[in-house]
Amino acid sequence: MVALGEQYVFAQNLEDVAEFVGLQGTGHTPLPPHELITKWLAVLSAVQRHIRQVPTAKLSERVIDNRDRSIRLMGHHVFRIAEAFLEAMEEGVEYSAQLANQAPADGTFSSGAEIAAYGDAVAKRLDLWWDALSDKSCQGKLKTFFGLQPVHMLFERSTWHSAQHARQLAAVLERFGIEPIGRLTKDDLAGLPLPEGLWE
């Protein structure tokens, strides 16, 4: 949240923040939706490959020491981001702050293969959604916890959010001395407004 006196804006849409503080936009040009879907599906595929590489005994370890989130939970979360987006788009669910953070039940998703299988189902659903979408310009609006927002904005935000976690998971594998299979390239990530730092 960004506040000026008693006025404030949720810092989820950076264009809203820029306008709030008196700037003429952020200078970022979002990728068109047809490029976003290609990148998002590539990201989800990479995370499926990487989560399968994590030894089962390591899944309960923290992704990073100073945050209480296990590798298992982050692996699930990447695909939950896409599932939450689809629930908002297809079912009219309001995109709440916690929608993409719903954790799996205890005792479920206990191996990389199980998480990857969940990811495969989500990726297929995302692909089918795109194929059936009538307005591929994504100019419509949907309800979110930070106000009525363009579909295109949440589409891009969800894509780079997933991509940032994909980068982090590759770094976790490297920490274990495991070379990530088919890691995402600069071209795969080009045009996404990713944070410079890996853990931001």
C-alpha 155/C-alpha 135 separation (Å) is: 13
- Contacts from 182-191 at CB under 8 Å and sequence distance 24+? 182/45, 182/46, 182/49, 183/46, 183/50, 184/42, 184/43, 184/46, 188/39, 188/42, 188/43, 188/46, 189/39, 189/163, 191/31, 191/35, 191/39
146 band by pLDDT with thresholds 50, 70 and 90 = confident
Q: Check residue 200 and give its pLDDT.
A: 73
pLDDT-based confidence at residue 14 (cuts at 50, 70, 90)? low
Rounded average pLDDT over 149-164: 96
So what's the pLDDT on residue 9?
46
pLDDT digits (tens, 9 = 90+) for 97-145: 899 999 999 999 999 999 999 999 999 999 999 999 999 999 999 999 8
What domains, with CATH codes, occur in the chain?
Answer: 1-29 (no CATH), 31-189 (1.20.120.450)
Residue 18: per-residue pLDDT = 47
pLDDT band of 28, cuts 50, 70, 90:
confident
- Mean local confidence (pLDDT), 151-178: 97
Residue 39: exposure state from Cβ atoms within 10 A (0-12, 13-18, ≥19): buried
What is the per-residue pLDDT for 20? 47
Tokens, residue 56 = 């089962």
